[in-house]
Amino acid sequence: MLGNLSCLHNSIFLSVRWIAVLYCFLAGWQLSAQTAIRSRHFIFYSTPQNLKAAEQGLHRLEELRAAIQALHGVQWVSTSPLRIWMPANEAAWKKFTATNAEQGIFVSGQGRDWVVVNPWSQNFLEVLSHEYIHAVLHRTLPNLPTWFEEGICEYYSNLLLRRKGARVEIVLGQLPERHRQILEGMLSIDIDQLAGKPMTIRSYAPAWAIAYHLWPGYKSGDSFPAKLSIGPFSPRTISIDYMAPELTQSLLSRREINELEIEFRNQFPSANQPVEAETAQAESVFLEGLRLSDLGQIMQAIPLLEKACLLRPSNSSWWNALALAYQENKQTSEARVAIEKAIATAKNETESAAAKSLQRSLF
C-alpha cells in the first residue's frame, strides 16, 4: 500500500491545473516558431518574439569563434554553419531534456551540428557559448572525459573580449557566480571521485575549477592528478591578434526555413509529437498508475508509473511515486535508481526535500 501519497496528490492536481493553463498558452506554438537568421558561421532558428535574443546570440557566437581561433588556431573552428534551435517555449524545450537542470544540449548529426537552448535560460549567452565549445571540442578533441569537457565548456562560457586601443584582450578564468558557493564549500577537488560518477548539476563547479587549473596545458592522453586544491582563482588576461568577425545577419527565406525544420525534425524525432498530446498522455497514464497503487494493485500500477516517467522524465514527484511503488513491491535497487532520479529532477527546494526525505525513509 502506498500510504503517504497525499502530498503527491496535491502537487499532481496543482500541476493538472497548470497544464490546463499551459494548453491555452501553447495553442498555435508551431505556427509562431518560424524565424531564422544567419550570420557567417551560424544559423539561429526561433520565433519572431525571440528575434532579439537570436541576434545577440549570433553576435556572441561570431565573436567567441574569432576569439577561439585567435587562441588555438584555425583547426579549432568549423566551416560548416552550426545550427541553433530555440524552442518557442519551455514546454517545447522539455522534450529535449531529461533533467530540469540542463539549459542547452549539443547534438552532432551527419556533418551538421545542432545546439538546442532553453528559451527561458537565465544565462542564455553563457549557455550558448558553453554548447558552442562542445561543438568545437567534438571535432578537435573527441576523446576527452565528459567531466573535463564540461569543465572546459564552462571555462570558455564567460570568455570576455575587451578592446584596448588597437589591441584586443581576452579575459578568462573569472569564477562564475553559479559555481562560487559550491566551490567555497569544498576542501579539495577529488578528480577520481568526479570521474567515477555520472555528471550532476553540482559537478559543473569542480569541473570548471579543474579546467581552470589544468586547461589549456592538458595534452590529449595526459593523465590527471587524483586531487587538486580548490583555488585561488583570479581572472587571466591574454592579449591576442584578433580578427574582428563580420557581424552581418540576414533572415532566411520561407523555403530555407522549411528545409531547416525538416532537417531538425529528422535529427530530433521527439520534436515531432505535439507537446499537448504527449503531456496529456503522460498525465493520464500516471493518474491511472496512482489509482491502481492506491487500490493495492501494485503489480499493475508499476508499468504505468514507469511509462509515465519515461514520457515525462523531468517530473520529480512522479519518480517519487515510482520509487514508493518499487519499494512496496520489494524492488529495492529499482527504488534506489528512481529516487536518485527524483532528486536529480527536483525543480525547487520543496521537491528536493521531499525526494531526500523519501530516500532516508526507504534506505
150 or 283: whose CB is closer to Zn ion? 150
Q: How far is the CB of 211 from Zn ion (least distance, A)?
A: 12
Contact map string, positions 152 to 171, toward Zn ion, x by CB under 5 A? -x------------------
Q: Are 94 and 103 in contact (CB under 8 A)?
A: no
Contact map string, positions 115 to 154, toward Zn ion, x by CB under 5 A? -----------------------------------x--x-
153 or 191: whose CB is closer to Zn ion? 153
130 or 312: whose CB is closer to Zn ion? 130
Q: How far is the CB of 83 from Zn ion (least distance, A)?
A: 17
153 or 210: whose CB is closer to Zn ion? 153
62 or 150: whose CB is closer to Zn ion? 150
- Verify cis geometry, omega within 30 degrees of 0, for the bond prior to 216: yes
135 or 285: whose CB is closer to Zn ion? 135
Residues near Zn ion (CB under 5 A), total:
2
Angle at 34 between CA 127 and CA 59, to 5 degrees: 40
Give Cβ neighbours of residue 311 (< 8 Å, ≥ 6 apart). Answer: 278, 281, 282, 285
Q: How far is the CB of 108 from Zn ion (least distance, A)?
A: 13
113 or 150: whose CB is closer to Zn ion? 150
Q: How far is the CB of 146 from Zn ion (least distance, A)?
A: 9
Rounded CA separation 315/19 (Å): 13
Q: How far is the CB of 158 from Zn ion (least distance, A)?
A: 14
Rounded CA separation 125/57 (Å): 6
153 or 183: whose CB is closer to Zn ion? 153
Q: How far is the CB of 104 from Zn ion (least distance, A)?
A: 7
Q: How far is the CB of 130 from Zn ion (least distance, A)?
A: 6
Q: How far is the CB of 195 from Zn ion (least distance, A)?
A: 16
Q: Which of 333, 309, 330 is nearest to 320 (CA)?
A: 309
Q: Return residues touching Zn ion (CB under 5 A).
A: 150, 153
